[in-house]
Structure 1
Amino acid sequence: MPDKKRCLLSVAMIVKNEEHNLDRALGSIRPYVDEIIVVDTGSTDNSVEVAKKYTDKIYFHEWKDDFSEARNYSLQFPTCEWVLIYDADEEVKEDFAGIREFLANLPEDVNTVYLPTLSYLDWDLKKTEIASTARVFRNGTVRYENIVHNQPIYKGKVVEAPFTIYHYGYIWTRKLKKKKYERTRNLIVKLLEEKKYIPSQERAYYLCQLYKTEMIGGNTKELYPIVNKVIEIIKKDQKMPAIAFEVLLMHALALNAKGFNKEARELLEFLLRTEPKNPDPYYGLLAVSEAEKKYEETISYGEEFLKRIEYVEKNPQEFTWTIIAIKYTPMVHTLLAIAYLKKKDIEKFKMHFEKIFDKSKLTITEAQKLVNALGKYITEVDDDDFIKIVPEIEKLLHEAHQFGVHFNVLDIVERVKKIGLQFNYDLFEPFLKGTFGKLVMENLKTKKDGLMEYIFGSDENQWAEKIEKMGLEAVLFFYENLPNTSPEKLRVLNRLRKSENEVIKGVSYGLIADIYLEKANFKLALEYYRTAAEILPELGKFVKPVLDDLKTKLDPTIEGIFHELKRFYFENKELMMGALKEFPKEQLERLYLISDTDFAKYVSATNIWKNNREKSSQLLDSISKKEEFPFLEYRYAKLFEDSKDQEELKKAYLYHAEALKKNTVLGDLALGVYKFDNFYPHEAFENKNDEIVWVGNISEKHSGLGVISPLRVWRKASRYYYVEPFHIDEAIRVYKQRRVGYNLPVLEVKREDILKVLTEVNISEIKVYEEDEKYIELVKNVALETGIEYDDKSKNIVSFEIVNIAKEFGEVVKNFESGVLFYFVPDFNNHDDIVWYYPIFRFIRTRKQVEDELRKAGAKRIRHFVLNESLRAVIFER
């Protein structure tokens, strides 16, 4: 208890509606002080009643929207030698006990004592900031300025003391947060707007307080303009108020998060020069280095940050500025662990990894970020390093579960499965939810194949019903992907043979016969084959060859009817691929984790090829019976289509060519009418060494209608881009005749496009170059509106195709005085742009290439128009 013979230390407080805090604040401080002064500025709750439990020195003062005014009012009442400025949302603990002896022994020329304030930022008391501020003053030597976030003005010598004050004021309910935000913001804005003259450094101070207030209020759209004003003042004055350090640090972190790494680095280096002892800029530079994948720098900045934070924690009283990044220590250990892992320094990775999951510092939200970051990088290491860090991986899974965070463990599951590690599989279970997760676990633990259960459900008794609903395709799929040794295969087919659908019923009898044939039960096999043909006579042509073979020799290796049935009913089709589109894509991408079947690998490969070409290729390569997949070469081709590498584009071409020969339905994917017959009249054109810019099967989005090749390559020459194979003029004519009646995508020039361009020409008559009745009528209609005559003998033309079709459109232009040429250009970065696929197009010309051709043909005046994403027009005059 305080020595009552000497009035050494008073507490001065201003309060308003703090009944929820006062017991904690006053109860903790009372053992160490001689006098408590409380000035109430208008409480409407029980604050005064609570205060009376600890002091009778309670005063009342009208609130005047000015914290300094209220603080200065409170300072007239203390009677002790020293005054501690203390707030209701604060607390002291046992480590505060030494302050009396410390104050009693101070020299008389010392007037001010700095104490560390540790601010809690969350309800779990895990996130903190720390700063040392002037809190204890010799009575009568201090006054306050600034209406908000009041600052003490003091004189005489200053000392630091290690007696911490714990601050809870940043832990707010939503209601209180909104109330404090609005009150503080309004005070600052009012001052900045109404005060006639504010010195620049004072203005910078208030702007920084406004920045912090807007951050608390979540009004992020105001932050950038505020910080720009602060930076302008700093540059002009060549001076920075202390509070600006914190604001500029937060701005630098925001810049880095936005991807402006260079700007963030420059600002952080400036801050480091300004306050070389402050750890915070090192955290910012660590974050920048990690974003830039500069792992040596990451390590350097991270290790230095940790050294400096350790010093701060041991000597908090030395730091008169707020240390923000102390709350990011777990993230620093995470980034250092990742950097050392990248550098293959497993020992130091392990050292930092052990320090990440400190439950006294880590919140659930932060744990989520750290787990995801570690999970990503852990799965990128090579197999040797992966094996070395298995204990850490297991701990990562354990800690993720303990923190209750979501974690996608499938990449780790895949690596564990691939390498064949001794691993605690049970650690995966909390993260593998639902049917898919259960099947992954079963495959890991018992090698159970979960394909049928995934598609048809867990109740085998319902499989037949679900298969029947899906149709014959599902029957054949089921048969192909479940081994004949599986007892459920025969049970399900026996249920299906009772179907009311005659096709499913007959086919099921035939497939049961195949099973008995393989088991060398020839009597039952013959019986079921005959029944199948009786139920479904069209099966007779498949059953008869099998029966004939069995008459020659009872041989269980004789091929049954399954493959003939599959070819007959679903020739060159991807079985079940359409039905599986209803399943979650992220599960289909990992189907190989629940099943080792070729089908599961194929499905996964076709679902991940856009995001992970290498993995897709590996899965396709691992398929054992490639002949069972008629689209396999097509899928390989898709892997290389988007490449910029010439060799890979050539591979795409070769795979597409092979796919078309193997699977003729690929000749017309859009319509399914014109199978590939390799008869598409074309001519040799240009140079095989010209750069390939696009490869694909145009029937994915369009149709060549049996006269223009579905396989297309676009090559780049100096004057244009051109197609290979280069279809002849007659193919275009036949194509135009055939396309009538088909609902295919059309690249057309609309009336408004024609009107827009024709209003820009200065001619009296015009005609359409192509013999196309639709365009002739459109131009005639527009010509009437624009006052232009339509004349079949005109020397002024409108063309809708020559730029995209004619070999030398300049030769056409030479025969006319002027004209308008419409043409289409693709987005060169978009492989899916319809212009690449448009069957009749033989050329793509850029604006410059069009202009060069026109000038070569003698055009004197040229004007260009951009009409939409792909449509262009050019007016020329000779």
Structure 2
Amino acid sequence: MLHKYDIFIRPTKTWRPDTMGKFISLCMIVKNEETVIERCLSSVAQLVDEIVVVDTGSTDKTKELVSKYTTNIYDFEWIDDFSAARNFAASKATSEWILVLDADEYVDEENFKRFISDIKEDNYKYDAYNAKILNFSGDFGEVLVQNYHDRIYKNNGDISYFRKIHEQFKHNNGLDIKFKNSNLIIFHSGYLKHTVNEKDKSNRNKKLIDIEMQSNNKNAFDYFNLGNEYSSIGDVNKALESYIEAYKLKSDIRLSWVSTTLIQIIICLMQLKRFNDALNVIKDAESVYTNSPEILYLKGEIFYLRGQMEDAKEIFQEIVSNPDIYDHVIFRPDLKDQKPHSRLGDIYLYEEDYQNAVYHYTSVLNINKYSEKSINNIVYIFNKFHSDHEIKEFLYRSKLINEKNIKYYVHACFDIGNYNLALSILKEIKEENKLLYQVGLLKKLAVEKKVELIDDIQDLFEYSVVKDLIKANWINTVEIYLLEYLVERDLSIARLIEHFKNNNVLIELKRLLNEETRFDNINGGLFKDSLQILINYKQFSICTNLLKHVNLLDPKEQSQVAGILYSNGFRVESIHLYEKIDWSYLTVQDFINIINSLVQTNANDNAVEISKYAKALYPDDFRFYKFIIENTQDISVYSDNLYEANERFKESKFLDRLNITN
């Protein structure tokens, strides 16, 4: 009988189970997985010959759901050791091969069938196989991370798992295991943000890794995993220390985690703004991983973050133009296509080259139709130049919109104040999206005062409904304020507004919009949000009342208001406000706004002087050096700034070209 503190080890003798013609068994360990277990089992049940599930203490319906797929369900007392549980599960398997999956993973049927066919063709040449794990992370799975992991092995008693966490195969007789990277792809959703938080994975993992680190046989892989856990909790300095130690202790550069470690070192250095150190690591890494898109992408990202737009553009264009060259993805597939296209879109948007920006954001959406950032930017750009009908026709004709992502497009329309575009997009399918359509009508009613719309949205005048929509960021307090003008036109609106009479946010907004109000303090966040919404809705007279209180904001918030005015085309008003603010509070973008305004009025000499001031405050932003170099008439200023730029900004082809001409 298994003692609760024993670590279960597979028999060391050469042993083959009585397979009775069974080829592969699925072995799983589970605990409280009722939300995902059926997705996993339904994807693989018809593809394997046996399912073995070991439960380590579920208190939900996990075992009940598992029983629909197998009777091989075993209890195992959890002893803070994943390997012990996995080895116990393997002891119950009776097929020639064992496949290991977690409950939050699943497979594709056709891919799995090809994988089984390949194993059979190999004719027992290998002891074990690595599978490619595609991890969906972030809020909605928008970030894709891949890694290879040992998941398939011969059920002959020679191989077992070791390590309490991030378990790996070992040969029980100390021999080498013959591995092969298989074509099997396993999809994993366990790193979605809400799942990580819900299961408290970071604390659990850190606890088990700490136990491993206390042992005398800790190795490079232990430090790699420790770095991952420090990274997940945001301790970048300790993560970097751990990754560096892992890289120092590596036994073979060909190990799959080693290249990932190198990338994590670069990312940590970038997070710490040690950009030149990161570039030095990249320079060494490029000589080893010549066809990795990630290494090159991170180089471009450093350029982008430092304002080296030409250098960044060149890098990102190189990646997207040569997918056949940069075909060795280490662990971030999105850095091969989505992210470079997205950054190119950002650069062209910054340069106001809207045609190229649209091309690259659309390229992202052709890969990932759920990229909210790309959706927002596409809608923003189109709204500048095209009619609602033209935008709608393009989106549907390009097959960018589907039933799952339509809410992102609607939200993007609402964010720029174009509820009519949202209504146009929803028109053909308004019954399937009735609530969103009614929200659009409510906004139209609030802004345009079209009382004939009231009968179509009576359902929305329930206070509980509106409160939930405000909480979900579909309706805002400014719209409630605008609805107040209609209280005498409809009783249901009057009743709704009555519920808001003690709402602190609405009370504060009314005070902000009353030019006679005297303040002891002011809600800067509400001020800025309301200003943007009112500009979107072209409520300029109300904006004027609001801006009469701008001097009551602190200098940092005043600069943010100036930025809002500038980005919405009110450049004269923006510059007037900037002139009143202590410039030590201005951001990089604030100075860029001021410089661009001066250039537009041909005041280049003044723009150069301001660039010098900005460069002193923000010496790591290349744009100020570039502007001075390209516009100064003073040879010594030119030479000094070119020298400074060369010292600070390494690996710049833009500077290399300038140096050649000089």
Q: Deviations over 1:545-586 (max 9, x none)?
A: xxxxxxxxxxxxxxxxxxxxxxxxxxxxxxx97669999865
Tell me how far 1:121 sits from its aligned partner: 3.1
Equivalenced residue count is: 470
Instruction: Please list every run of 5 or more consecutive structure 2 residues that lacks an aligned counterpart in the other structure.
Output: 1-18, 426-436, 451-480, 489-513, 552-557, 585-616, 618-662
**Contact 1:592 / 1:601 at 8 angstroms: preserved in 2?**
no
After superposition, residues 699-848 of structure 1 pair within 5 angstroms as none
**Contact 2:376 / 2:409 at 8 angstroms: preserved in 1?**
no
Inter-partner Cα distance in structure 2 for 1:34 and 1:301: 49
Tell me how far 1:352 sits from its aligned partner: 1.5
3-state DSSP of counterpart to 1:110: coil
Number of the residue aligned with 1:168: 189
Number of the residue aligned with 2:411: 404
Number of the residue aligned with 1:130: 146
Task: Flag the structure with more relative contact order, 1 or 2, with Cα contacts below 8 A and sequence separation at least 6.
Answer: 2
Structure 1 residue aligned with 2:447, among 432, 438, 444? 438
Tell me how far 1:81 sits from its aligned partner: 2.7
Aligned residue identity for 1:301: I
Inter-partner Cα distance in structure 2 for 1:394 and 1:352: 19
Number of the residue aligned with 2:594: none
Number of the residue aligned with 1:184: 205
Inter-partner Cα distance in structure 1 for 2:346 and 2:74: 57
Number of the residue aligned with 1:37: 52
Number of the residue aligned with 2:119: 103
Change (3 A) 1:287 1:594: same
Structure 2 residue aligned with 1:353, among 361, 372, 376? 361
Inter-partner Cα distance in structure 1 for 2:86 and 2:242: 29
Tell me how far 1:291 sits from its aligned partner: 1.8
Inter-partner Cα distance in structure 2 for 1:31 and 1:637: 68
Number of the residue aligned with 2:465: none
**Contact 1:119 / 1:170 at 8 angstroms: preserved in 2?**
yes
3-state DSSP of counterpart to 2:190: coil
Change (3 A) 1:65 1:607: closer
Inter-partner Cα distance in structure 2 for 1:229 and 1:370: 35
Inter-partner Cα distance in structure 1 for 2:277 and 2:229: 23
Aligned residue identity for 1:208: G
Structure 2 residue aligned with 1:153, among 163, 166, 170? 170
**Contact 1:350 / 1:392 at 8 angstroms: preserved in 2?**
no
Inter-partner Cα distance in structure 1 for 2:105 and 2:144: 14
3-state DSSP of counterpart to 1:134: strand
Aligned residue identity for 2:159: V
Tell me how far 1:426 sits from its aligned partner: 8.2
Change (3 A) 1:5 1:392: same
Inter-partner Cα distance in structure 2 for 1:432 and 1:274: 58
Number of the residue aligned with 2:223: 204
Aligned residue identity for 2:362: E
**Contact 2:212 / 2:218 at 8 angstroms: preserved in 1?**
no
Q: Deviations over 1:791-837 (max 9, x none)?
A: xxxxxxxxxxxxxxxxxxxxxxxxxxxxxxxxxxxxxx9xxxxxxxx
Q: Deviations over 1:433-470 (max 9, x none)?
A: 989983799xxxxxxxxxxxx99x95999xxxxxxxxx
- Asked if residue 339 in structure 1 is aligned to residue 342 in structure 2, the reply is no
**Contact 1:286 / 1:297 at 8 angstroms: preserved in 2?**
yes
Tell me how far 1:159 sits from its aligned partner: 3.3
Aligned residue identity for 2:313: I
Q: What is the root-mean-square deviation of aligned Cα atoms in Å?
A: 5.6
Greater helix proportion: 2
Tell me how far 1:270 sits from its aligned partner: 4.8
**Contact 1:591 / 1:603 at 8 angstroms: preserved in 2?**
no
Change (3 A) 1:208 1:20: same
Number of the residue aligned with 2:133: 117
**Contact 2:190 / 2:196 at 8 angstroms: preserved in 1?**
no
**Contact 1:601 / 1:620 at 8 angstroms: preserved in 2?**
no
Tell me how far 1:389 sits from its aligned partner: 11
Q: Deviations over 1:471-497 (max 9, x none)?
A: xxxxxxxxxxxxxxxxxxxxxxxxxxx
Inter-partner Cα distance in structure 2 for 1:15 and 1:356: 36
Number of the residue aligned with 1:82: 97
**Contact 1:13 / 1:86 at 8 angstroms: preserved in 2?**
yes
Aligned residue identity for 1:139: N
- Asked if residue 301 in structure 1 is aligned to residue 308 in structure 2, the reply is no
- Asked if residue 280 in structure 1 is aligned to residue 300 in structure 2, the reply is no
**Contact 2:309 / 2:347 at 8 angstroms: preserved in 1?**
yes
Aligned residue identity for 2:168: Q
**Contact 1:144 / 1:153 at 8 angstroms: preserved in 2?**
yes
3-state DSSP of counterpart to 2:152: strand
**Contact 1:119 / 1:169 at 8 angstroms: preserved in 2?**
yes
Aligned residue identity for 2:80: D
Whichever of the two has the greater Rg, that structure is 1
Instruction: Please list every run of 5 or more consecutive structure 1 residues that lacks an aligned counterpart in the other structure.
Output: 380-385, 414-422, 442-453, 462-575, 623-634, 645-828, 830-878
Q: Deviations over 1:24-62 (max 9, x none)?
A: 433432322223333444445555555454444445544
3-state DSSP of counterpart to 2:102: coil
After superposition, residues 475-490 of structure 1 pair within 5 angstroms as none
Tell me how far 1:290 sits from its aligned partner: 2.1
Inter-partner Cα distance in structure 1 for 2:356 and 2:43: 43
- Asked if residue 324 in structure 1 is aligned to residue 332 in structure 2, the reply is yes
Change (3 A) 1:34 1:343: same
Inter-partner Cα distance in structure 2 for 1:61 and 1:81: 23
Inter-partner Cα distance in structure 1 for 2:132 and 2:145: 10
Aligned residue identity for 2:276: K
3-state DSSP of counterpart to 2:357: helix
**Contact 2:129 / 2:151 at 8 angstroms: preserved in 1?**
yes
Identity of aligned residues (%): 20
Structure 1 residue aligned with 2:86, among 71, 94, 97? 71
**Contact 2:196 / 2:202 at 8 angstroms: preserved in 1?**
no
Inter-partner Cα distance in structure 1 for 2:546 and 2:94: 83
Change (3 A) 1:439 1:136: same
Aligned residue identity for 1:352: H
Aligned residue identity for 1:72: N
Tell me how far 1:150 sits from its aligned partner: 0.2
Tell me how far 1:621 sits from its aligned partner: 8.6
3-state DSSP of counterpart to 2:184: coil
**Contact 2:297 / 2:335 at 8 angstroms: preserved in 1?**
no
